[in-house]
Amino acid sequence: MSRKKTKRAYKYRFYPTDEQKKKLAQTFGCCRFVYNWGLSTRKTSYFQHGQSLYYNDLAGMLPALKEQFPWLKDVSSVPLQQALRHLDRAFVNFFEHRADYPTFKKKRHDQSASYASNAFTWDGQALTLAKMDAPLDIRFHRPLPKGVKPSSVTVTRDSANRYFVSILVGEDIQPLPLSPKVIGLDLGITSMVALSTGESIGNPRYFATDEKKLAKAQRKLARKKKGSKNRTKARLKVAKIQAKIADRRRDYQHKLNTRIVYENQVVCVESLAVKNMVQNHCLAKAISDVGWGEFTRQLDYKTKWYGRTLVKIDRWYPSSKTCHACKHVLDSLSLDIREWVCPACSMVHDRDTNAALNILAAGLAVTACGGSVRPVRVRARRATPVEAGNALP
């Protein structure tokens, strides 16, 4: 029996020739232009005429737009259509409360262009984009699986001027052999992840260690005259440090959640309303530093790939202040208390391990009962603001 193919993106760095750089810069510029034009056209249409426009409407206006701005014809038309598809996606994400209202793309931010399968060739070794003569010089740090047919390709240039290509393929991913292990994770602030096994994996806080370097570069940038060459250079320096921090964080997270998924059959986490919590000023930096949202997203698709189960527990489950042994619930437990003694059963708890054990128990209750019997969390009252992280000591 063949499994449905899983869509998987492989991202590689590549080094464009001067000519390719020029062509890409042109393409990025045109995509940005079309995206921004689409956004402003949609806005005008809706706010002035009460009429919603979608991909098909805007794509239908592209030929006329090209007559008005003939330089749009110098680049492949596929990335321009894809830019409008991305705009559609941005609106859907907004309507479904996953993102803010779409904003205009700016020149100094990351640039990207997407190519559908009719706008590139892949011969199993080399990738050539439409309107380009030579294939991209891609560094395949790991090979694309043999025999795959890429369905789309996205080229990006980040603010540190590095070029990447993300190749989307359909792939047969073999589920891992069953594991007898189950685990609960408490995604904390002071430690990256506390496991129900008692192991605590320290938050690398890359941002904190590189913070000085970054702050220095940012101060330098602030002193440079607007529009000057030196300002551009200083901005690039800041972007490079930020890119390095982001790379290291991503790498660390991937290794960690891959290990967790490999070892355990069932993984239980709290489904955190990360976005809401990030809006809390005091916690904002610590949380965006740790990157919980991205971590959980990766757990989500990796458990699906490998035939594991991810259980997300209600975000208001008071996992920290419930004793995992006797289920006694404390009235409050402030964030600076790392260890506490249960007044009911006298057990000593490490704050994070106890929370991870509760998350595991709640998750297993949900899976065992198929959700038909009330899960453990129903026993508990709603968390106080302290539990939800609204009060820092």
Whichever of 148 and 333 has its CB closer to Zn ion, that residue is 333
Q: Given the complex with Zn ion, which of 357 and 365 has the nearer CB atom?
A: 357
- As a whole number of Å, the CA-based R_g of the chain is 25
> Does the annotation count 352 as an active-site position?
yes
Indicate the residue among 273 and 326 with the shorter CB distance to Zn ion: 326
Estimate the share of the chain in helix, then strand, then coil, as percent rounded to the nearest 5. 45, 20, 35
Q: Which residue, 125 or 346, has its beta carbon nearer to Zn ion? A: 346
Rounded least distance, CB 275 to Zn ion, Å: 33
- How far is the C-alpha of 62 from the C-alpha of 134, rounded, in Å? 28
Taking the complex as a whole, the smallest distance from the CB of residue 345 to Zn ion amounts, in Å, to 3
Report DSSP state, residue 97. T
Least CB distance to Zn ion at residue 381 (A): 17
Segment 21 to 50, residues that bind Zn ion, using CB under 5 A: none
At a CB cut-off of 8 Å and minimum separation 6, what does 52 contact?
Answer: 42, 45, 46
59's tokens = 């794509």
Give CA 246 to chain center in angstroms: 11
210: annotated active-site residue = no
The answer to whether residues 127 and 120 touch, using CB atoms and an 8 Å cutoff, is: yes
Secondary structure (3-state) at 366: helix
Reduce the secondary structure of 19-46 to three states and give it as a string.
Answer: HHHHHHHHHHHHHHHHHHHHHHHHHHHH
- For 330, half-sphere exposure in the C-beta direction (CA atoms, 13 angstrom radius) is 23
- The token duo for 166 is 């993300």
Q: In Å, how far from its chain's centre is CA 348?
A: 36
Nearest CB to Zn ion, comparing residues 42 and 349 = 349
Q: How far is the CB of 209 from Zn ion (least distance, A)?
A: 38
Q: Scanning residues 338 to 357, which ones bind Zn ion (CB under 5 A)?
A: 342, 344-345
Give the nearer residue to Zn ion in terms of CB position, either 92 or 341: 341
Active site residue 19: no
What is the maximum alpha-carbon separation in the chain?
78
Q: Residue 136 or 323: which CB sits closer to Zn ion?
A: 323
**CB contact set of 21 (below 8 Å; sequence gap of 6+):** none
- Please, which residues bridge with residue 13 across strands? 139, 164
Q: How far is the CB of 364 from Zn ion (least distance, A)?
A: 19
Q: Tell me how far apart the terminal alpha carbons of the chain are, to the nearest angstrom.
A: 57
Q: For residues 20 and 354, which CB has a smaller minimum distance to Zn ion in the complex? A: 354
Binding mask 272-311 for Zn ion (x = CB under 5 A): ----------------------------------------
CB of 198 to Zn ion, least distance (A): 17
Cα→Cα distances 4→26, 80, 140, 171, Å: 38, 30, 26, 9
Give the DSSP H/E element, type plus range, for residue 194: strand 191-195
What distance in Å separates the CA atoms of residue 64 and residue 72, rounded to the nearest whole number?
11
- Choosing from 211, 289, 314, 352, the catalytic residue is 352
Within 13 Å, how many C-alpha atoms sit on residue 263's CB side?
A: 11
Minimum distance, C-beta of residue 343 to Zn ion, in the bound complex (Å):
8
Please give the residues from 204 up to 263 whose contact with Zn ion meets the rule CB under 5 A.
none
Q: In whole angstroms, how close is the CB of 328 to Zn ion at the nearest point?
A: 5
Say which of 88, 186, 289, 387 is annotated catalytic: 186
Question: Count of residues binding Zn ion (CB under 5 A)?
Answer: 7
Q: Which of residues 319-338 bind Zn ion (CB under 5 A)?
A: 323, 325-326, 328
The helix or strand, by DSSP H or E, that contains position 65, with its residue range, turns out to be: helix 55-68
List the interface residues with Zn ion, window 86-145 (CB under 5 A): none
Query: Which residues are catalytic, by number?
Result: 186, 270, 352
Q: Which residues bind Zn ion (CB under 5 A)?
A: 323, 325-326, 328, 342, 344-345
